[in-house]
A and B are shown apart, each in its own frame.
Chain A
Amino acid sequence: MDASADSKGGAYVFKEAMIAALITLALCTPIIMFRTEADQNTSKLELIFRLTPVLVFMALAFAGRLVVLALRMRPARVKAVPSVAPPSGIRAFFTYVIGPLGLLFLFAYPVIVVWWLGPSGALKWMDSYGIQILIYVMLGWGLNIVVGLAGLLDLGYVAFYAVGAYAYTLLATGFGLSFWICLPIAGVLAALWGMILGFPVLRLRGDYLAIVTLAFGEIIRTILINWTAFSGGTAGISSIPKITFFGLVFADRENSFDEYFGMDYSPIHGKLFLYYVILGLALITNLVTLRLRRLPIGRAWEALREDEIACRSLGINTTTTKLTAFALGAFFAGLAGSFFAVRQGFVSPESFTFNESATILAIVVLGGMGSQIGVALAAVALIGGFEMLRELGWLKTFMVDYFGMTNFDPAQYRGLLFGLAMVVMMVVRPRGFVSTRSPSIFLTRRTAVSGDLVKEGHG
């Protein structure tokens, strides 16, 4: 009936819409039209007849059906399938405009915030926006190696983040090692776990690989919860030593950073330092990934994503290639985890739930698999956007003033709004923000490869 809608006239559409409205009436009659309420004084049940909401719903159904049919009746748009995006297109825009500007902004961000809001006002913007987002940018870039380049779907990435965080925590509290010594150790330990996970799952592909990595993430978390003697269990470990600047702590006491440089103590100094540390770590991740893409190992990862069997026929050892991808991705997660622990001063298994893995994977997918700038933008949009929804005080005032919804709290709708935004995003740009792939080498011109040709990998 719908398929032939375009051959019929307005009368048909009107009839269809009327039918929809009548169906709504039939549905609303038992559900909405009558309401029973106990009388305050006599406590007798009273039947209240409500016509207005029913009429509203009927009108909505009528209009909705009209719109749907009208959209169907439009002549179908001929969809061009541009397989080669021109180099002057969105890719170039992202690479040559957004990239450098974004980098400049990242370095200037703390200065802008402190200058604008003052040292105490800037704290929140440094911590829950700046540092928080950058941690996820780094995690996204790390996971991008595994998922975006090598095409191995990893749902347990947060496990390596946890390994890094606990590695620093235990080494610092147990042996009194400083953050800067623990940082590489945490990375190497995480990489080791990446390999340990890698070995048994090398033969698995696609869904099977995803399930095993998911299980691995849960195993790590469960061990952290139950092995109380080792990890402190659900209570976690608190009073983790803070980050130091060549041995100088950021605190209001003797021999601190502030005192050494003859400044009055301000918590913003510590935050600024943390910000630039995570910025540096994230940029190292990015730089290494960008360079590796142009090296044989990076090309082998991408080739593995495209066709594993062809890789073997060309003499590529798929086992070691997969393992290096797992290990390197885990290494960067370990660094990020270690930073997370030193920034938070407290770790517990609660920070490393599957939800985190899903968020990081969502960042990679939303950004466009394999694209560095896309992943960074997605992290800003996802994490920053989520935080931003906390700031919707004006919406609350608006709702109270105009609709009288006194108990409306926008923060409670964050998840809903967010899910909606994601769905819209995936409908509009199904391959993420940056859907084209930039070749790692070229002879005469750099043509972006359309996302339609690039495979997502199969495990």
Chain B
Amino acid sequence: MRWLSDPLLVVEHLTMRFGGLVAVNDLSFQVGRGDITALIGPNGAGKTTVFNCVTGFYKPTEGRLALARAGAVDRDAIEALTRSSARQAQSGAAELFLLERMPGHLIAHQAKVARTFQNIRLFQGMTVLENIMVAHHNLLMRASGMTVLGLLGAPHYRATEAWAVERAKYWLDKIGLLDRADDPAGELPYGAQRRLEIARAMCTDPVLLCLDEPAAGLNPRESLELNALLNTIRDEHGVSILLIEHDMSVVMQISDHVVVLDYGTKISDGTPVEVRNDPKVIAAYLGVADEEELAHVEAEIHA
């Protein structure tokens, strides 16, 4: 129950409307620090929309997305920050961010939320190593004195770049692509591209990694490797993970906390076991239409 005792991200009353269509309706949930949280639901339930709101690609119509990068979330601090016009605040050890007030690139850069995409978005014409170097952009930009010092070949910049290359090597080794570091990313097989996208996101030093269907299109063996990779990321790097996934074997095996969406509303929230036994979830997935039938299904389950 870490998502209740020590939440990293607190989503409250998130609503996203596109014209008359309500994609996400008054959604509230919490992401625990150090947890792997899965966001599941049938197609069109609004999962990716939630992701786009969290990572700043959409501005939510309503709602608050509070992220406490370090230290426990202080309710009063969130309220105080909300009343001010600022987008971030420091209260003790905790660094608070209101994601709905930040543009996308700052969410990645300052609030440290990284993401991958449902349809892989690698820089296909750049090599595997270059893809990872781009992820070090802000770090290297600072080291290169906003390009000026880098243009003059300052030693500090060279040292930082060498450090970034070492870290790239570490991650490439981790995802088994070290020997393909100099190949164009667009040439990698599908599964390798997915892993590279995750490694690239990890190189932005995130506290929260959002993965949009990381197991889509992977074979069972690759799925297992992915589970191991995600566990490593969580355990060794202390990064919390929020993922959308349809592959229930992945969801049930690795996640600590599952949130279920249907038609933009939360229908269930709890541990994988709780969610698996929730009649509303079963109904949503099996497509039961009305309340009577729901009661019927419930009765059947408890019988």
B184 touches A313 (CB 8 A): no
* A154 in the interface (beta carbon within 8 A): no
Beta-carbon contact of A441 and B165 below 8 Å: yes
Q: Given A295-B144, A314-B134, are A306 and B123 neighbors across the interface (CB < 8 Å)? A: yes
Which A425-450 residues have C-beta < 8 A from chain B?
437, 439-447, 449-450
- Residues of chain A within 8 A (CB-CB) of B141 are 296-297
Closest chain A CB from B103 CB (angstroms):
8
State in angstroms the CA–CA spacing of A433 and B288 once bound together.
62
A313 to B115, CA, bound (A): 6
Interface positions of A from 308 to 325, Cβ below 8 Å from B: 309-318, 324
Any B CB within 8 A of the CB of A8: no
Given known A-B contacts A292-B151, A306-B123, A315 and B204 have beta carbons under 8 A apart: yes
Chain B contacts with A in 174-204, Cβ cutoff 8 A: 181-184, 186-187, 200-201, 204
Known: A314-B135, A316-B134, A447-B183. A453 touches B124 (CB 8 A): yes
Q: What distance in Å separates the Cβ of A203 from its nearest Cβ neighbour in chain B? A: 13
For residue A300, CB closer than 8 A to chain B, the reply is yes
Say how far A260's CB is from chain B's closest CB, in angstroms.
Answer: 35
Interface check B78, CB cutoff 8 A:
no
B283 CB to closest chain A CB (Å) equals: 35
* Interface membership of A258, Cβ < 8 A: no
**Bound complex: CA of A50 vs CA of B163, how far in Å?**
82
Note all chain A residues with C-beta closer than 8 A to B135.
314
B151 and chain A: residue at smallest CB distance: A291
A449 to B127, Cβ gap below 8 A?
A: yes
Taking the closest CB of chain B, its distance from the CB of A45, in whole angstroms, is 68
A307 at the interface (CB under 8 A from B): yes
A contact residues around B58 at 8 Å (CB): none
Total number of residue pairs linking A and B with CB closer than 8 Å? 143
A interface residue count range (under 10 / 10 to 19 / 20 to 34 / 35 or more)? 35 or more
Q: How far is the CA of A307 from the CA of B119 in the complex (A)?
A: 12
The residue on A at minimum CB distance from B172 is: A443
Q: How far is the CA of A15 from the CA of B122 in the complex (A)?
A: 54
Known: A314-B200, A315-B108, A316-B105. A455 touches B124 (CB 8 A): yes
A190 to B133, CA, bound (A): 31
Interface residues on B, range: 35 or more
Contact of B137 among A296, A442, A447 (CB under 8 A): A296
Interface centre among A306, A311, A313 (most CB of B within 10 A): A313
Answer yes or no: B104 CB below 8 A from chain A CBs.
yes
Q: Compute how far the CA of A316 lies from the CA of B121 in the bound complex, rounded to whole angstroms.
A: 15
Please tell me if B217 contacts chain A, counting CB pairs below 8 Å. no
> What's the Cα separation between A308 and B127 when bound, in Å?
17
Contacts of A316 in B (CB 8 A): 105, 134, 137-138
Q: B123–A442 contact, CB under 8 A?
A: no
CB 8 Å contact bits of A276-298 with B (1 = contact, 0 = none) = 00000000000010011001110
B182 touches A296 (CB 8 A): no
Checking A295, A313, A437, A454 against B201 with a beta-carbon cut-off of 8 angstroms, the contacting residue is A313
Question: Is A269 interfacial (CB 8 A cutoff)?
Answer: no
**In the complex, chain B residues whose CB is within 8 Å of the CB of A84:** 183-184, 187
A415 to B67, CA, bound (A): 63
| Chain A nearest CB, measured from B234 CB (Å) | 20
Residues of B within 8 A of A214 (CB): none
**Do A315 and B137 have beta carbons less than 8 Å apart?**
yes
| Other-chain contact of A292, B109, B127, B147, B200 (Cβ < 8 Å) | B147
Find residues 248-276 in chain A having any chain B CB closer than 8 Å to their own CB: none
- Which of A306, A318, A444, A445 counts the most B-chain CB atoms under 10 A from its CB? A306
Partner of A442, one of B104, B109, B116, B182: B182
Give Cα distance in the complex from A291 to B187, angstroms. 27
Subset of 12 A-B contacts with CB under 8 Å: A296-B134, A296-B136, A297-B144, A300-B137, A303-B123, A306-B125, A314-B204, A315-B108, A317-B109, A439-B182, A441-B133, A455-B124
B residues in contact (CB < 8 Å) with A:
55-57, 104-106, 108-109, 114-117, 121-127, 129-130, 133-138, 140-141, 144, 147, 150-151, 165, 169, 181-184, 186-187, 200-201, 204
Q: A295-B147, A314-B204 are in contact. List 10 more A-B contacts (CB 8 A).
A: A296-B133, A296-B144, A306-B124, A307-B123, A313-B114, A315-B105, A315-B137, A442-B127, A447-B127, A454-B124
Which 10 A-B residue pairings sit nearest by Cβ, starting from the closest?
A454-B125, A315-B109, A315-B108, A306-B123, A296-B140, A310-B121, A453-B186, A312-B104, A295-B150, A449-B184
